[in-house]
Amino acid sequence: MTAIEAIGVVVPAHDEEELLGACLAALARAAQEARPLVRDVRIWVVLDACSDRSEEIARAAGVEIVRVDACNVGRARAAGVEALTAAFADVPPARLWIGNTDADSTVPPHWLTDQLRLADAGADVVIGTVRPDFRDLSAEQCAAWWATHTPGVANGHVHGANLGVRASALLTAGGYAPLAEHEDVDLVERMRQTGAVCVAADTAWVQTSGRTFGRTDGGYARYLREDLIALAQRTGASGSEAAASARSESAPRREVRDRDGAGRA
């Protein structure tokens, strides 16, 4: 399998001044860990119709900036991919890796090195897992979440907050569609259809905001707001012990290396 030479990370942001700083600080640590393995690692923040301090925060972090006025995450991710592929125009697409996360999420220090390990083993797509910030959830929500998730086991659910792709696989599939939500699921399905090797892993899970109202009507916030509560009601899941355990697991305030859960999606 073709070795990766460079990494670009795309982070769409729409008025994320409260969480963007932590996101970029975590990405800086992940980039630092990955730099000895490749010739360059760069981060692009796509400011999508931002009216808050997001641009100021991104500039202070020293990352690349792209501006769009779409209020559309699919268009924002596509703009970030376009900018990074242009910047790495001298890198063959098969040797360029694109990390994808969200502005309300924090990655672990080994996030990129873990994706590189899987890419070197033959992956074109790495489908990572996410965990909510349990401090944002009720005890019932925490218990319901832990009742349906096993640490170290990849569930194969696609999340834009934890997705890595080889640029050649993304381009072959046509890139991100201009969708207001589920643009990540749509892309992975098209990459599968074009023969990309997809691997699911829980070895570098990403913490994402536990907010119940996000930037779109659906997405992870809706899952936490409606589906998880419904699950808790159906199963009778409850318990302060589960909530306390979940909150103690809230990361990446510390680096966590779950046992390898990699496997074909």
Share of the chain above pLDDT 90, in %: 68
Supply 132's token pair: 């909510």
Q: Beta-carbon neighbour count of residue 238 at 10 Å?
A: 15
Are residues 206 and 130 in contact, defined by beta-carbon separation less than 8 angstroms? yes
148 has pLDDT over 80: no
CA dihedral 67, 65, 179, 159 (to 10 degrees): -160
Task: Answer whether residue 225 shows pLDDT above 60.
Answer: no
Higher per-residue confidence, 114 vs 228: 114
Q: Where are the beta strands (DSSP E) in 59-154?
A: 64-68, 96-100, 105-106, 125-132
Distance separating alpha carbons of residues 168 and 195, to the nearest angstrom: 11
Enter the tokens of residue 33: 């860990």
**Residue 244 pLDDT grade (very low, low, confident, very high; cuts 50, 70, 90):** very low
Residue 95, SS3?
helix
Say how far apart CA 142 and CA 137 lie, in whole Å: 6
Q: Provide the pLDDT for residue 226.
A: 62
Residue 213 has pLDDT above 70, yes or no: no
Q: Are 160 and 176 in contact (CB under 8 A)?
A: no
29-52 residue pLDDT tens = 999 999 999 999 999 999 999 999
Question: For residue 157, is pLDDT > 70?
Answer: yes
pLDDT digits (tens, 9 = 90+) for 245-262: 443 444 333 232 232 333
H-helix or E-strand containing 222?
A: helix 219-222
Say what the pTM is.
0.84
Confidence of residue 136 (pLDDT cuts 50, 70, 90): confident
- Closest listed residue to residue 25, CA positions, set 1, 72, 58: 58
User: Token pair of 2, please?
Assistant: 């073709």
- What would the pLDDT profile of 77-106 be if each residue is shown by its tens digit? 999 999 999 999 999 999 999 999 999 999
What mean pLDDT is predicted for residues 183-191?
97
Has residue 3 got a pLDDT over 50?
A: yes
Of 1-5, 17-21, 50-54, 154-158, give the lowest mean pLDDT range: 1-5
User: Which helix (H) or strand (E) element contains residue 202?
Assistant: strand 198-208
Contacting residues for 117 by C-beta, under 8 A, at least 6 apart = none
